[in-house]
């Protein structure tokens, strides 16, 4: 399937080819506030609300979906938000090349593609190995948030997280919760909830 490519004109869109490895994030944002990452921002509704709640955090929202990056930029531009930058890239490559180690104060991953077929499961982005990879880029005390509507994905990740010694569950003994007051709902969460599905929320902190 060919996708029409949208040229994104936004002061908050960072073209990958213009970004050094790693970029000077304080220089880009004009301050040295803490840095947080949303992987797979989709249309950016979660990012907008979360960034408005936390004006003293610099957010990088990434997605490899060009139209999503465009929609995210339009949304944050419309609201005059200055603490979000959007990049079109693949998550693992982006983190490896553009995030300094030990610099992220939070990572948000909401409703990543579930790859429901058994034989496709290995294509899922989030698993123990990926979370351990992210840990290198996070600061002590950093937050890790994961949400999915897909039972099998939710349960898999919920079971993997307690095996990562560097992380501490913020939901006590609950491996996941279906409600997370204060955490914004994304477009996909709302869509799935309207279909009667439950969301699996997880919240851990780096020790
Ligand atoms: C089902 S959508 C969810 C979008 C949004 N987080 C939400 O909850 O509404 C999954 C998004 O993750 C993006 N995505 C999946 N894997 C990715 C990866 N490895 N790197 C960057 N983006 C990815 C897809 O392009 C898509 O926009």
- For residue 84 the two structure tokens come to 């979000």
What CATH code is carried by the domain that includes residue 101? 3.40.50.150
Residue 143 lies in a domain: yes
- How high is the pLDDT of residue 3? 57
Q: CA-CA distance, 23 to 98, in Å (whole number)?
A: 6
- How high is the pLDDT of residue 2? 53
Residues of the chain scoring pLDDT < 50: 1
Residue 54 lies in a domain: yes
Annotated binding residues for S-adenosyl-L-methionine: 38, 63, 90, 113
- How high is the pLDDT of residue 156? 96
Q: CA-CA distance, 61 to 72, in Å (whole number)?
A: 8
Mutate to test the pocket of ligand 1, among 43, 49, 62, 112 (most ligand atoms within 8 A of CB): 112
Q: Ligand 1 pocket, 63 CB below 6 A?
A: yes
Asked if residue 134 lies in contact with residue 99, where contact means CB atoms within 8 angstroms, the answer is no
Q: CA-CA distance, 159 to 156, in Å (whole number)?
A: 5
- How high is the pLDDT of residue 22? 94
Mutate to test the pocket of ligand 1, among 6, 37, 38, 40 (most ligand atoms within 8 A of CB): 40
Total length of the chain? 207
User: Residues 149-177: pLDDT tens digits?
Assistant: 999 999 999 999 999 999 999 999 999 99
Residue 106 lies in a domain: yes
- For residue 172 the two structure tokens come to 């006590």
- How high is the pLDDT of residue 85? 98
Distance 68 CA to ligand 1 centre (A): 9
Residue 6 lies in a domain: no
User: Residues 56-82: pLDDT tens digits?
Assistant: 999 999 999 999 999 999 999 999 999
Around Cβ 54, how many Cβ atoms within 10 Å? 16
- How high is the pLDDT of residue 176? 98
Q: Which atom of ligand 1 is nearest to the CA of 41?
A: 6
Half-sphere exposure for 48 (CA within 13 Å, toward CB): 17
E-assigned strands of the chain?
13-14, 34-39, 57-63, 84-88, 104-110, 138-148, 167-169, 200-206
- For residue 182 the two structure tokens come to 């204060």
Q: Ligand 1 pocket, 13 CB below 6 A?
A: no
Q: CA-CA distance, 198 to 52, in Å (whole number)?
A: 26
**The total number of structural domains that make up the chain:** 1
If you write DSSP's letter for every residue of 80-124 in order, what string do you get?
Answer: T--SEEEEE--HHHHHHHHS-TT-EEEEEEES-----SGGGGGG-
Residue 168 lies in a domain: yes
Residue 26 CB partners (closer than 8 Å, separation 6+): 32
Query: 34 is in which domain, residue-wise?
Result: 13-206
- How high is the pLDDT of residue 186? 98
Q: Give 203's strand partners.
A: 145
Asked if residue 64 lies in contact with residue 134, where contact means CB atoms within 8 angstroms, the answer is no
Q: Ligand 1 pocket, 186 CB below 6 A?
A: yes
């Amino acid at each position: 399937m060919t996708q029409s490519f949208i040229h994104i004109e936004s002061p908050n869109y960072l073209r990958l080819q213009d970004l050094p490895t790693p970029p000077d994030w304080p220089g880009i944002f004009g301050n040295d506030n803490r840095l947080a990452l949303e992987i797979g921002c989709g249309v950016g509704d979660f990012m907008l609300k979360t960034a408005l709640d936390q004006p003293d955090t610099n957010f990088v929202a990434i997605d490899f979906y060009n139209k999503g990056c465009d929609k995210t930029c339009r949304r944050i531009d419309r609201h005059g938000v200055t603490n979000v930058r959007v990049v079109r890239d693949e998550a693992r490559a982006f983190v490896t090349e553009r995030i300094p180690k030990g610099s992220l104060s939070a990572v948000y991953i909401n409703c990543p593609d579930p790859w429901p077929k058994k034989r496709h499961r290995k294509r899922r982005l989030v698993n123990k190995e990926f979370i351990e990879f992210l840990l290198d880029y996070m600061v002590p005390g950093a937050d890790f948030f994961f949400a999915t509507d897909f039972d099998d994905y939710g349960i898999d990740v919920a079971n993997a997280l307690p095996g990562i010694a560097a992380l501490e569950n913020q939901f006590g003994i609950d491996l996941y919760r279906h409600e997370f007051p204060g955490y914004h709902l994304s477009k996909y969460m709302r869509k799935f909830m309207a279909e009667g599905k439950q969301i699996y929320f997880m919240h851990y902190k780096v020790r």
